[in-house]
Amino acid sequence: MGKPTGFLECKRELPAYSPVVVRIKDHKEFVQSISKIKVEKQASRCMDCGVPFCHSGCPLGNNIPDFNDMVYKDNWKAAYKILASTNNFPEFTGRICPAPCEASCVLAINKEATAIELIEKNIIERAYQEGWVKPNIPLLRSNKKVAVIGSGPAGLAAASQLNSAGHQVTVFERSNRIGGLLRYGIPDFKLEKALIDRRLEVMRAAGIQFKTKLEVGKNMPLDRVLNDYDAVLLSGGSTIPRDVEVKGRNLKGVHFAMDFLRQQNERNAGDRIKKEEAILAKDKHVLVIGGGDTGSDCVGTSIRQGAQSVLQIELLIQPPNGFNPATPWPQYPAILRTSSSQEEGCEREWSVLTKAFVGDDKGQLKGVKLVDIEWENGSFKEIEGSERELPCDLAFLAVGFLHPQLDGLINDLGIDLDERKNVKTKKYQTSKAGVFAAGDMRRGQSLVVHAISEGREAARKIDLYLSGSSVLESKENSLISVVD
C-alpha cells in the first residue's frame, strides 16, 4: 500500500463539469481535466484492503489496488500495464462505466469510495500521450482465421485478444462505422468518437481487419463465413427494442430512442440526414419514457437540440435517496441518481404509466395521456383521478431491449436460444460447434464493461477450441470466478 493514511488525509475529488449553459451548446464531452498531482492524491486514498472487494465488483476483475498504488508512486507506466492486462479499452470504461467497483470499494461502507474510474481514465489518457499504447502484434501467427460478427465492445475486445493469440481476425459490421453502441448509441457528450478511432488505429496496426457495411446473413452470406473461417464469434448486440403498445403509438412523433440517438451521432460525424427522416427536438415538448441510461441520453440530446421542455417518466417507484437497505454494500446500490443530462434541465416523474398518445387530424403527435400508479407486491394499479393530458410533440421510447435480431443470422444458423431469446451458450459456445457468442447478444441488454469482459472470456474459449491451450488472460485463470 502506498500511503496508509491517504484516505484519512484526503477527500474524494472529481473533476468539474463545464457549466450547463456552456455544455448544452454542443455535443462534446464536458468533463474537465484534473492535474496529475490530484489524481495521485486520489490514488493514495486506496486502502489496499486485505480482501479488495473492488476486484470482484469489477466485471473485468481489474487489479485496482495495484494500479492505484503505482499511480500514487508516480509509476504511471506500470499502472498502465496492470490496467491493460485486464481491460482492453479503459478509455471507454473510464468515461461511461457506472463503476460497480466503486460501489464495492471498502471505503464506501462509511466514506466516499476511492475515485477508481477517474484514476482509470487518467492512466489510459496518459498512456496514449506518452506513446505506451502500442499495437499488440503477435510473434507467431497460428494460420487460423476467426470471424467476429458485430463490432461493439464485445466483438472488439474478443478481436484484440484473439489477434494477440496469433489468429487472423476479421470483424464484420453492418453499419458504416465500427463501434456498435459506443459509436451509434452513446452520445458524443459522454464518449467522443475520436476515442474509438484512436483505438481502431492501434487494432488495425496490430493486424485486425475490419469490414463495414456487411451484414452477415444478408449481404454477406453466412455460408461463406462458416466455410472461410475456423471459428465464428457472434457479438451482434441486443437490438430489438421493447415497445409501448398504447393507443396512438403509430402517430408521427413517437420514436424508439435509438432512432433518435443514432441520428444525432451520425450528424455529429458529418453524415447528412434526409430532411423528411430527421428527428429533431428543437422547440418541442419532449417526453422520454424510461428512466435508464438510454432515456437519460435522450434527455441530454433533446436539451442540446433546443427542446422547449423535457419530461422523463418511469413506471417504477422512485428509488430511495442515499441508502437502500435492499442493496447493502458491496452490492451496486439501487438509489436515486441524477445524471449530468438530467441536471441540464428535465423534469422527472416516477410511478407513471403512459395511457395513450394523442394526435391531431394529420396524424401528428400533440399530447400524451398519463396516469399515476401505485405498486403493491410487484404489481401496480392506477390511481383514480390522476389521469392527465400533457402537450407532447415528440416521444422517445427508452424502455429497454428485448433480445437480438433473430431474423437473418441467428435464424439461419438455427442455434438454440434461451428463454429470453438471447443466444444460448455453454462456456460461450453456442449449440453449433465452432460458433461462439458474447456480449448483449448472449447475456441480454447490459453494460460496456460486461461486453468487454464477455469478449475476453469468449476469446479464450475460442483460442482453446482452435489451439487446445491458451495463454490469454481471463477471469478463468485469475482468482475471480467465472459465471457463464
Ligand X SMILES: Cc1cc2nc3c(=O)[nH]c(=O)nc-3n(C[C@H](O)[C@H](O)[C@H](O)COP(=O)(O)OP(=O)(O)OC[C@H]3O[C@@H](n4cnc5c(N)ncnc54)[C@H](O)[C@@H]3O)c2cc1C
Instruction: Give residues in contact with ligand X (CB under 6 A).
Output: 96-97, 149-155, 172-175, 180-182, 185-186, 190, 215-217, 235-237, 258, 261, 293-294, 297, 408-409, 439-441, 446-449, 451
Q: Give the Cα separation of 71 and 6 in Å (integer).
A: 13
Q: Give CA–CA dist 97/448, Å, rounded.
A: 7
Beta-carbon contacts of residue 75 (< 8 Å; ≥ 6 apart): none
What share of residues in the chain are helix, strand, coil (percent, to 5)? 35, 20, 45
The distance of closest approach from Cβ of residue 328 to ligand X in the complex, given in angstroms and rounded to an integer, is 23
* Cα 152 to Cα 184: distance, rounded to the nearest angstrom: 10
Q: How far is the CB of 411 from ligand X (least distance, A)?
A: 11
DSSP state for residue 190 in the 8-state scheme: T
Q: Which one, 243 or 389, has the nearer CB to ligand X? A: 243
d(CA 439, CA 364): 38
* Distance, CA of 411 to CA of 427 (rounded, Å): 21
Report residue 72: phi and psi, to 5°.
Answer: -55, -40
The C-alpha atoms of residue 124 and residue 293 are separated, in whole angstroms, by 24
**The three three-digit cell numbers of residue 283, written as one number:** 422547440
Give whichever of 74 and 243 is closer to ligand X, judged by the CB atom. Answer: 243
Enter the C-alpha cell of residue 41: 492524491
For ligand X, the closer CB: 106 or 398: 398
Which one, 114 or 446, has the nearer CB to ligand X?
446
Least distance CB 41 / ligand X (angstroms): 27
Q: Report, in angstroms and rounded to the nearest whole number, the Rg of the chain calculated over CA atoms.
A: 23
Least distance between ligand X and beta carbon 78 (Å):
27
Task: Output b/e per residue, 275-287; b: 16+ Cβ within 10 A.
Answer: eeeebbbeebbbb
Report the residue number, 368 or 413, with the smaller CB distance to ligand X: 413
Name the minimum Å distance from CB 67 to ligand X: 20
Close Cβ partners of 232 (under 8 Å, ≥ 6 residues apart): 146, 147, 148, 149, 225, 226, 434, 435, 436
Query: Of 133 and 191, which CB lies nearer to ligand X in the complex structure?
Result: 191
Q: Looking at beta carbons only, is 182 or 346 nearer to ligand X? A: 182
User: Considering the complex, what minimum distance in angstroms separates the CB of residue 438 from ligand X?
Assistant: 7
- Cα–Cα distance, 339 to 98 (Å, whole number): 11
Residue 4's contacts (CB-CB under 8 Å, 6 or more residues apart) are: none
Report the phi/psi class of residue 205: left, alpha or beta, with left for phi > 0 and alpha for psi in -120 to 50: alpha
Comparing CB distances to ligand X, the nearer of 56 and 175 is 175
| Min CB(258)–ligand X separation in Å | 6
CB of 311 to ligand X, least distance (A): 18
Q: How far is the CB of 259 from ligand X (least distance, A)?
A: 11
Terminal C-alpha separation, the chain? 33
**Closer residue to ligand X (CB): 102 or 297:** 297
Provide DSSP, 188-226. TTTS-THHHHHHHHHHHHTT-EEE-S--BTTTB-HHHHH
CB neighbours of residue 332 within 10 Å: 15
At closest approach, how far in Å is the CB of 153 from ligand X? 5
**Residue (298 or 472) nearer to ligand X, CB:** 298
